[in-house]
């Protein structure tokens, strides 16, 4: 999917040096080696293609490589469009590797005003789409699917649009609840990547999830988007915690791996871990460098950012 656009800067050399220093420090920690399996504290989820120079183009081989490097989850935005037999093979490979399936995109429209209108045809389409998502989730043993409530309408009062979004989501949640599938609503930044979208902020998503009042409607907190839209990442995590079910990451500027931008992901990961988060953190970003070197830099970045002293209470 091309919904993400992945900035070389004059500080690239400094960033690379800092990243190398962090990674070198992390590799001396417990359970870490440059090329071996790392015992990550959190479930970071790469996506297909992220390690293709190491693992090749076959998705099953890529899963094996991810698992060999210590990653315990996978996400794939385009999973609904993959053939059923391939979905089943992916499920088998993940089960064999002890990996968990992360999000796939159930609905995302970047060109129409669907969710914001009270339209029975749209409601029927959305419910049908969620039934398809439930089938895919069962095939993959997946728990989460991404929903993006499309564009806002500048000619309709905002509160009416919000009410319509809530009603559509309630209907979708009725499909998802019996199957245990959780729609995760993703606020997107309006300044860099996605102008005109209805859902942009964590507080807004929190309000909607509270109104839908379903265990099948929660928040996907993409920290790349929220750093651009509003910042204040950790306080917003705390304020919206009861409704956050999933995280995605990417550094800013550039939407590359952690340690390449301004976000202190080591502190963010430590905070999430301390709160007892047991879900998935999707690695929805590009690579700052090409080839095997760039892929290893991604691994090293996560080793470095995962090298925090745990504040999680012990039982």
The helix (run of H) or strand (run of E) holding residue 222 is strand 217-222
Q: Residue 64: what pLDDT?
A: 98
Q: Is the pLDDT of residue 113 over 80?
A: yes
Task: Say if 312 falls within a structural domain.
Answer: no
Q: What is the pLDDT of residue 13?
A: 37
Band of pLDDT at residue 315, cut at 50, 70 and 90: low
| pLDDT value at residue 36 | 79
Phi, psi torsion values for 112, nearest 5 degrees: -135, 160
Would you say residue 86 lies in a domain? yes
What was the pLDDT predicted at 84?
Answer: 98
Is 6 part of a structural domain of the chain?
Answer: no
Q: Is omega for the bond preceding 253 within 30 degrees of 0, making it cis?
A: yes
Report the mean per-residue pLDDT for the chain: 91
pLDDT exceeds cutoff 60 at 59: yes
CATH number for 228: 3.20.20.150
Query: DSSP secondary structure string, 250-264?
Result: --TTTS-STTSSS--
Q: Please report the pLDDT score of residue 314 as a whole number.
A: 62
Instruction: Look at residue 73 and give its three-state secondary structure.
Output: strand
pLDDT band at 246; cut points 50, 70, 90? very high
Examine residue 7 and state whether it is found in any structural domain, yes or no.
Answer: no
Please determine, for residue 130, whether its predicted confidence score (pLDDT) is greater than 80: yes
Asked whether the predicted pLDDT for residue 33 surpasses 90, the reply is: no
| Percentage with pLDDT > 70 across the chain | 88
- The reply to whether 102 falls in a domain is yes
Residue 260 has pLDDT above 50, yes or no: yes
Domain assignment of residue 44, yes or no: yes
For CA atoms 109, 111, 117, 123, the dihedral sign is negative
Read off the pLDDT of each residue in 181-200 and give the average, rounded to a whole number.
98
**Is residue 115 within 8 Å of residue 150, measured between CB atoms?**
yes
Give me the pLDDT at residue 310, please: 84
Do the Cβ atoms of 296 and 34 come closer than 8 Å?
yes
Range with the poorest average pLDDT among 223-227, 260-264, 308-312: 308-312
pLDDT value at residue 312: 78
**pLDDT value at residue 34:** 47
Residue-number span of the structural domain to which 144 is assigned: 12-305
Q: pLDDT of 13-28, one tens digit each?
A: 333 434 444 444 433 3
Whether 253 is in a domain gets the answer yes
| Short-list 173, 80, 181, CA closest to 127 | 173
Mean pLDDT of 143-149: 98
pLDDT band with cut points at 50, 70 and 90 for residue 35: low
Confidence of residue 5 (pLDDT cuts 50, 70, 90): very low
Q: How many CA atoms lie within 13 A of 12 on its CB side?
A: 9
How many independent structural domains does the chain possess? Answer: 1
- Is residue 313 in a domain? no
pLDDT digits (tens, 9 = 90+) for 66-91: 999 999 999 999 999 999 999 999 99
Reported as a single tens digit per residue, the pLDDT across 271-290 is: 999 999 999 999 999 999 99
């Amino acid at each position: 999917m091309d919904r993400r656009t992945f900035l070389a800067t004059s500080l690239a050399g400094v960033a690379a040096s800092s990243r190398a220093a962090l990674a070198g420090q992390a590799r001396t920690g417990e359970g870490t080696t440059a090329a071996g399996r790392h015992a990550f504290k959190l479930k970071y989820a790469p996506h297909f293609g992220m390690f293709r120079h190491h693992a090749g183009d076959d998705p099953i081989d890529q899963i094996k490589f991810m698992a060999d490097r210590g990653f315990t989850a996978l996400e794939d935005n385009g999973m609904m469009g993959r053939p059923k037999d391939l979905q089943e093979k992916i499920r088998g490979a993940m089960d064999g590797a002890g990996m968990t399936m992360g999000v796939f995109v159930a609905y995302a429209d970047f060109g129409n005003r669907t969710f914001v209108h009270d339209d029975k045809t749209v409601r029927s389409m959305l419910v049908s789409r969620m039934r398809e998502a439930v089938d895919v989730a069962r095939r993959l043993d997946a728990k989460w699917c991404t929903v993006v409530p499309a564009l806002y309408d500048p000619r309709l009062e905002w509160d009416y649009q919000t009410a319509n979004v809530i009603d559509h989501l309630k209907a979708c949640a009725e499909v998802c609840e019996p199957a245990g599938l959780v729609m995760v609503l993703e606020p997107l930044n309006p300044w860099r990547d996605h102008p005109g979208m209805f859902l942009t902020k964590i507080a807004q998503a929190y309000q909607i999830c509270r109104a839908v009042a379903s265990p099948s409607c929660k928040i996907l907190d993409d920290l790349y988007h929220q750093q651009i839209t509003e910042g204040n990442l950790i306080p917003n995590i705390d304020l919206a915690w009861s409704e956050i079910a999933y995280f995605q990451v990417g550094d800013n500027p550039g939407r590359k791996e952690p340690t390449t931008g301004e976000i202190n992901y080591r502190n963010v990961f430590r905070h999430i871990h301390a709160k007892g988060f047991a879900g998935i953190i999707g690695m929805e970003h590009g690579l700052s460098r090409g080839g095997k070197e760039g892929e290893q830099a991604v691994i090293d970045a996560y080793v470095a950012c995962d090298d925090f002293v745990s504040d999680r209470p012990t039982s």
